[in-house]
Amino acid sequence: MYCQRKPTLNALTSTVATSAEAAQAFPIPDNVFAETVTEVRHYTDRLFRFRTTRPASFRFRSGEFVMIGLPNADRPVFRAYSVASPAWDDELEFFSIKVPGGPLTEYLQKIKVGDTILMRKKPTGTLVIDALLPGKRLYLLSTGTGVAPFASLIRDPEVYEKFDEVILVQTCREVAELAYAHELYDEVANHEFLGELAAGKLRLYDSATREPHPRQGRVTDLIDSGKLFSDLGVPPFDPSTDRAMICGSMAMIKDTKDRLEHFGLVEGANNAPNTFVVERAFVG
Ligand code: A2P
């Protein structure tokens, strides 16, 4: 799924439909794309991914997010979702949490192939290569659905042109939640063109916090203990060579950002590139 900054909280009207008939009942609002769901895959009872058609005119930079909604109300609820697919893909992919009672995900988790989703037209976000100064090693640090923007970036050839090493880090509560990142890694490694570009560059470092796993613990603890670096066989964060992107919960971002700053990295933005950037994972 996605990373979000501030959600656009359109009030949910009293009339909310729950199923495909809703698409007939409510008009498509102006200024949104109405796209068709082409694939849905559920990983756990908390996480799923879906793919949709892509509007011919829709352009975005790998790592950006868009606002997604459903045609199930007079004023649909929109939430920010990182586009998980790369900029060259014919379709769009999203990775989503299922929040019980969540104003959007309660309904979104029930979508099926052929259903319609709404997408606002303008992508945005800070997890883009242009917001980082040139470097050698890129860390993509994520928890849960925070991996979504990185799913886009690790499938973008540009990332391998710009960096010698790309380390995708994902921590989840449960082992089954790590499956999406493993699939992504395998997809890149076996891809006709990307496989060659990524060979010897892309590395996946995963950990689980609430189930037994060969790598146990939060990313912050793995940084503090030095285990992240010793497992990877690399020196600790170095602002002269290392760049990072962070995507997770607010608490995860704050705690991970503290660690990067401790090692001398500095937060950047689109208009002021520096050595790391952050974006909050969507949680509603
Ligand atoms: P934990 O199981 O110890 O809470 P969530 O689904 O709540 O967003 O959590 C996803 C993963 O992020 C979990 O493994 C969780 O660990 C971890 N996590 C939660 N808060 C932080 C934090 N402040 N710093 C680093 N990791 C965190």
Q: What is the pLDDT of residues 190-229, one digit of tens each?
A: 999 999 999 999 999 999 999 999 999 999 999 999 999 9
pLDDT confidence of 21, banded at 50, 70, 90? low
- So what's the pLDDT on residue 27? 83
Average pLDDT of the chain to the nearest whole number: 91
The protein residue with its alpha carbon nearest to ligand 1, atom 19, reads 252
* C-alpha 251 – ligand 1 centre gap (Å): 8
Query: What is the reported pLDDT for 20?
Result: 52
Q: List pLDDT tens digits, range 35-63.
A: 999 999 999 999 999 999 999 999 999 99
Tokens of 135: 């470097």
Which residues have C-beta atoms less than 6 Å from ligand 1?
143-144, 171-173, 209-210, 218-220, 248-249, 251-252, 255
Please tell me the distance from the alpha carbon of residue 182 to that of residue 256, in angstroms, as a whole number.
Answer: 22
Nearest atom in ligand 1 to the alpha carbon of residue 283 is 8
Rounded average pLDDT over 142-162: 97
Cα of 147 vs centre of ligand 1, distance in Å, is 13
Lowest mean pLDDT segment, chosen from 14-23, 198-207, 275-284: 14-23
Q: What is the pLDDT of residues 88-100, one digit of tens each?
A: 999 999 999 999 9
Using the mean position of ligand 1's atoms as its centre, give its distance from the Cα of residue 249 in Å: 8
Residues 34, 54: Cα–Cα separation, whole Å: 10
Res. 75: pLDDT tops 70: yes
Q: Which helix (H) or strand (E) holds 244?
A: strand 242-248
Per-residue model confidence as pLDDT tens digits over 116-135: 999 999 999 999 999 999 99
Structure tokens of 96?
């989503």
* Ligand 1 center–CA 91 separation, angstroms: 30
Report pLDDT for 25. 73
Whether this prediction's pTM lies above 0.85 is answered by yes
